[in-house]
Amino acid sequence: MPSVLLTESIALELGAQEPWPQDVKLFQPYEVEQILLPDNANCLAVQAFLKMCGLDFEVEPRSNAEYMSPSGRVPFIKCGAFVVAELDPIISFVNHKGISLSDKLDSVQKADMRAYMSLINTVLANAELYITWCDKTTLQEVTKPRFGSVLPWPLNHILAWQKRSQVVKKLGVLGWGNKTLDEVYEEIENCCSALSERLENRPYFFGDRPTELDAQVFGHLFTILTTPLPNNRFASIVRGYPNLIELCKLVEKEYFERTAEA
């Protein structure tokens, strides 16, 4: 085990020696026609994180981004000779370059941040997967047409079916397979109330400066709020927590509108 961990860290160290290049590209599926709720949340979280760090990048939509990614999941960034996928590896990759959003936090706060990030990863991300792939109406009306929009005829059905069985298997292992839709909504409710209790009335989770956690919360909640679904109870649960909405508005204003103007 240690040898493999070593090679991983060497790769990160090597990457760290170079400064942040100019032509970093973030690959993701097409936002308007193709992208699905869970992927969109992850892509938005990574975008928010990079913007909070003040790093330049270009969004590069590709219809087959999922199959290009080294881990099989979107989004991924191409930074010089390195290709890094998903939020956590991207965070540690950026940290190795000496850029971090959480270096002002003490070690207990960092541990808290890790715990809340895994709360989002286990509850919100799985709930999004459940609603996208296991809820029958959403699957038929939204997921399948969008997923298949970039694929020719027999493939759109075959790959959608394959992807669905993969997701169902994963959710089953995580103990979400037997849940009913109501139980899923209850989980979301619990998660949002926990986040809301933690945020209290501050602008960001750990004071006045955004952290990785804020990027992740923004990515997930903003996507949930803005994605039209046949059943919008998901969004209405989130709307019940005004301080979380404030956080989303703040991050959007600070980091997304400003760049759009410029």
Distance CA(125)–CA(219), nearest Å, equals 11
Question: Is residue 56 a contact point for another protein (CB under 8 A)?
Answer: no
CB of 71 to another protein, least distance (A): 6
Secondary structure (3-state) at 162 = helix
Sign (positive or negative) of CA dihedral 104, 105, 106, 110: negative
Is residue 6 packed enough to be buried (19+ CB in 10 Å), middle (13-18) or exposed (0-12)? exposed
- Where does 174-226 have alpha helices with state H? 181-199, 212-226
Which CB sits closer to another protein, 122 or 156?
122
Question: Is residue 108 a contact point for another protein (CB under 8 A)?
Answer: yes
DSSP character at residue 124: I
Q: Of 27-35, 94-102, 106-114, 131-139, which part binds another protein (CB under 8 A)?
A: 106-114
Indicate which single residue of 36, 195, 229, 244 sits in contact with another protein (rule: CB under 8 A).
Answer: 195
Phi, psi at 201, each rounded to 5°: -110, 15
Question: Is residue 119 a contact point for another protein (CB under 8 A)?
Answer: yes
Question: Is residue 158 a contact point for another protein (CB under 8 A)?
Answer: no
Distance CA(232)–CA(217), nearest Å, equals 19
Indicate which single residue of 140, 166, 236, 259 sits in contact with another protein (rule: CB under 8 A).
Answer: 166
Indicate which single residue of 14, 111, 155, 158 sits in contact with another protein (rule: CB under 8 A).
Answer: 111
Cβ contact 29:62 at 8 Å:
yes
Indicate which single residue of 93, 116, 185, 204 sits in contact with another protein (rule: CB under 8 A).
Answer: 116
Q: Of 40-48, 194-202, 236-244, 246-254, which part binds another protein (CB under 8 A)?
A: 194-202
Indicate which single residue of 95, 102, 121, 149 sits in contact with another protein (rule: CB under 8 A).
Answer: 121
Token pair for 171? 């959710």
Q: Is 229 left (phi over 0), alpha (psi -120 to 50) or beta?
A: beta
Residues near another protein (CB under 8 A) are 1-2, 4-5, 8, 71-72, 107-108, 110-112, 114-116, 118-119, 121-123, 166, 169-170, 172-174, 190-191, 193-195, 197-198, 200
